[in-house]
Amino acid sequence: MTDSKVVLVTGASSGIGHATALRLAGEGHHVVLGARRTDRLATLAGAIRDAGGSADTHRLDVTDPGSVTAFVDTAVDRHGRIDVIVNNAGIGPLSRLDSLLTDEWDRTIDVNIRGLLHGIAAALPHFQRRGAGHFVTIASVGAHEVMPTGAVYCATKYAAWAITEGLRLEVDPSIRVTTVSPGIVESEIADSITEPDVQEAIRAYREAPISADAIAAAVSYAIGQPPDVDVNELVIRPTRQR
């Protein structure tokens, strides 16, 4: 590793965020782990340190702009800079629209859209001052297709794609912007589905996932490119997924 970066990862307590933190720390980057489940963050940070890596943790609720600002500003205070923010935190409580689970719709919008915007708002001023930085958004193949029960979830991922692409078009070229759109990946996403029929259907749909580390490897690839190379989007899915 010749270019060690300070990398912030939201939603680092499980799934893609967890795998991304592990991989990047193993490659010599310092990772700053953010999530609500601080016990899991502490366990992850301990495993990273035991393996010779470097990590610190911060309780984070991406729906709270103050929490996200504190997450970013604390990292800058501790390390003098931030180089990358991986906006990974997301939820997917799928349901049919006629189930009218409006509280779940609101929560999905709050985490998947507002949480992303809060991450951009907190990190962008630091990147602009330094004249360098890298935003990575973990979206979904749901940003490119809609499936039954996925209307709200896919809408939030379309929005995440659009926001990230708009950011890429607006910022100075010194700031890189990448969207990573995973297909079926090992994760806890099905656990957030409250409708039994939908949960069972999704579990069957997700029978042959790829590992979360496959997505972590994509993040590593994107942030490891030379400064004049911006990987705009990566779509990664199992070979068996249409």
List residues with catalytic annotation: 153
Question: Could you say which DSSP state residue 98 is in?
Answer: G
**Alpha-helical regions (H) of 131-211:** 151-170, 196-205
Asked if residues 94 and 112 have their Cβ atoms less than 8 Å apart, the reply is no
Closest CA to 25 of 50, 54, 3: 54
**Per-residue tokens: 25:** 């720390």
Q: How far apart are CA 199 and CA 205, in angstroms?
A: 10
Element (H, E) at 116: helix 115-130
Please name the residue that has the structure tokens 């609101």.
106
Asked if residues 30 and 5 have their Cβ atoms less than 8 Å apart, the reply is yes
Closest CA to 199 of 120, 95, 104: 95
Asked if residues 189 and 92 have their Cβ atoms less than 8 Å apart, the reply is yes
Please name the residue that has the structure tokens 């499980």.
14
Task: Tell me the backbone φ, ψ of residue 189, rounded to 5 degrees.
Answer: -60, -35
